[in-house]
Amino acid sequence: MRIALVGAGAFGIKHLDALTRIDGVEIAAVASRRLAQARDVAARYGADVATTELDDVLAMSEVDAVILCSPTQLHAEQTIAVLRAGKHVQVEIPLADRWRDAQRVAEVARETRLTCMVGHTRRFNPSHQWIHQRVVAGGLSLQHMDVQTFFFRRTNINALGQPRSWVDNLLWHHAAHTVDLFAYQCGERIVDAHVMAGPPHHELGIPMDLSIQLRSASDQLCTLALSFNNDGPLGTFFRYICDNGTFVARYDDLVTGNGEPVDVTRVAVSMDGIELQDREFVSAITEGRAPNSSIESVLDCYRILGQLQNQLGP
């Protein structure tokens, strides 16, 4: 399977590293905003084509699928373009930053019947899979998810500390991880959602702090705090308060509520959530089935984000 990557930034590199560990996958092309970067990354990963244009990638008949790691504001239009070109697509989270755009992508995915997967990585991290398997088997029942997503980003930089060409978003990007994961772990729809925001940043124009509360159909709760003002440990911590134990997940690692490590090494074939996500993308295409985190399975997350955005105002 020949896959092209669009967006060779910090997260794009994670996908390229993952793809090199999957048998039967070839990296066919790399597209990035800067041609020098595209050429450098293409050379490192053995891709024949380096370009700054998505259209160049879509014109390549030998490309089977595209992974989009471009700026959030481009995700919806680029996903539609890839599908219209007859290629399978995995778009990094978020699918869109407006509910109506997410709906448009879903409509095109239904029309084309191609694989359209959204990068909701938390579904694939071994830590969260360990919880999910036990919830599905009946060994755990979730009562409350308490989640902290904390960064220190008072300037427009990416995860590598480099300048960004676009503005990140606490609601549509970072909250999307938890909104989807909560519904996924509950196995049911979110029926109630509320948000409060701190003041917007004077230059970035976005709220730097959010507080979100969610409730499932059977009254399971999620409390989510997000901040770009946090000067301390960075990232996201998920506390699962269950009827039969408490667990804290951080990316691919899991401990009990008392800090005792939980062995998740046998949950899947890899301990890398991005690799597991990409393996699912490749397998779904090969097997002709809907992937975990298909656009249909995550679409309700964007409905909730749209509701929260309406509460915040334009």
pTM over 0.85: yes
- Do 130 and 83 lie in one domain? The reply is no
- Do 278 and 266 lie in one domain? The reply is no
In a domain, 294, yes or no: no
Q: Provide the domain limits for residue 182.
A: 123-273+300-312
- Do 233 and 157 lie in one domain? The reply is yes
CA angle 93, 99, 103 (to 5 degrees): 90
Say how many domains are in the chain. 2
In a domain, 293, yes or no: no
In a domain, 13, yes or no: yes
Residue 203: predicted pLDDT: 82
Residue 202: predicted pLDDT: 84
Q: Residues 75-78: contacts with CB within 8 Å, 24+ apart?
A: 76/101, 76/102, 76/104, 76/105, 78/6, 78/54
Give the span between the Cα atoms of 275 and 258, in whole angstroms: 29
Structure tokens that stand for 82 in this block: 């890839």
From residue 44, give the alpha-carbon distance in Å to each of 17, 28, 79, 144: 10, 12, 26, 44
Structure tokens that stand for 100 in this block: 């109506």
| pLDDT, average across residues 3-8 | 97
Average of per-residue pLDDT values in the chain: 95
In a domain, 240, yes or no: yes
> Taking 90 as the threshold, does the pLDDT of residue 12 lie above it?
yes
> Taking 80 as the threshold, does the pLDDT of residue 154 lie above it?
no
> Taking 80 as the threshold, does the pLDDT of residue 120 lie above it?
yes
In a domain, 56, yes or no: yes
Percent of the chain with pLDDT over 70: 96
Contact, 209 vs 109, CB < 8 A?
Answer: no
In a domain, 288, yes or no: no
Give the span between the Cα atoms of 192 and 201, in whole angstroms: 28
Amino acid in the structure at residue 40 = D
